[in-house]
Amino acid sequence: MNPVVVFSGVGKRYRGRAVLSGLDLTLEAGEILAILGPSGIGKSTLLRLAARLERPSQGAVTLAARRLGFVFQEPRLLPWRTALENVALPLLAQGIPPRAARERAAAMLARLELAAFAQASPDTLSGGMRQRVSLARAFVVEPELLLLDEPFTGLDPELRRAIRCTLNALLAASGAAALHVTHDIEDIPAATNRLLRLTALGAHFELPRMEPASGVVSHG
């Protein structure tokens, strides 16, 4: 067993309101966990806690992964940098030499069929292309843990299916563990091992095909 992130009795409160309460969760290396629930239930908060962008109000989050990839609802690309430069940024932040970072970024863009747009600025790309650049940026670091915050939001149905297929292929090839937040059950990755359903009444682990599995954690 090689957990990449562990939640132990984690709770989070905002202005006195409990968003998460008593959450126990262990994500093993290579495991894909989908987190399903309506808006405002605490799904994105769980991701931010996993990434250590926020601290829990109670309990502890133990992060063993050293390389994280994050895909947001919006691509969040730097508008003054090219697609290639956006993808290379996390590699440069890791101390990878610029030439090697550019080569790895170019290879990842080519893998996502974006080689011809490497020097394009984000504002000249379609919404689907920008989201694929975002995926390239997340996967180029060879993440041990991938955090996906509703990455298909705002895409039309056909494009949504295409990006979903791209994500499934990247996950299968990378072997990364993943926490995938969504409010639409159709968007969960094909290789999902478990599903955590968040509701106002609690948080319940299920199998991806919706058959109840063992374990229930409380939710505020």
Q: Which residue has the higher pLDDT, 7 or 183?
A: 7
- Burial environment of residue 74 by CB neighbours within 10 A (0 to 12, 13 to 18, 19 or more): middle
* Phi-psi region at 97: left, alpha or beta (left = phi > 0; alpha = psi -120 to 50): beta
Q: Which residue has the higher pLDDT, 202 or 123?
A: 123
Around 53, how many Cα atoms within 13 Å sit in the side-chain half-sphere? 10
Greatest mean pLDDT among 38-42, 123-127, 195-199: 123-127
Please name the helix (run of DSSP H) or strand (run of DSSP E) that holds residue 163, with its range, or none. helix 157-174
The confidence score (pLDDT) of residue 212 equals 33
- Average pLDDT rounded to a whole number, residues 18-36: 91
Position 24 pLDDT exceeds 60:
yes
Task: Please enumerate in sequence order all residues whose Cβ is within 8 A of that of 160, keeping only pairs 6 or more positions apart, or say none.
Answer: 152, 187
Strand partners, 6: 26, 62
Percent of the chain with pLDDT over 90: 58
Coil, helix or strand at residue 40: coil
The confidence score (pLDDT) of residue 110 equals 95
Hey, where are the domains in the chain? 31-44+66-202
Q: List pLDDT tens digits, range 104-122.
A: 999 999 999 999 999 999 9
Asked if 144 and 4 touch (Cβ cutoff 8 Å), the reply is: yes
Output DSSP code: residue 39.
T
- pLDDT, the chain, mean: 87
> Quick one: which of 187, 105, 124, 121 has its CA closest to 154?
187
Q: List pLDDT tens digits, range 50-76.
A: 999 999 999 999 999 999 999 988 889
Position 181 pLDDT exceeds 80:
yes
Q: Angle CA(76)–CA(149)–CA(31) in degrees, nearest 5? A: 130
Tokens linked to 219: 């939710």
d(CA 41, CA 108): 34
> Quick one: which of 4, 44, 21, 29 has its CA closest to 220?
21
Coil, helix or strand at residue 83: helix
- CA 147 to each of CA 152, 159, 201: distance values in angstroms, whole numbers, following the listed order: 13, 21, 25
Q: How many CB atoms lie within 10 A of CB 161?
A: 14
Q: What is the topology classification, in CATH, of domain 31-44+66-202?
A: Rossmann fold (3.40.50)
pTM of the model: 0.86
- Average pLDDT rounded to a whole number, residues 183-203: 81
The confidence score (pLDDT) of residue 215 equals 33
- For the chain, the farthest-separated pair of C-alpha atoms sits apart, in whole angstroms, at 52
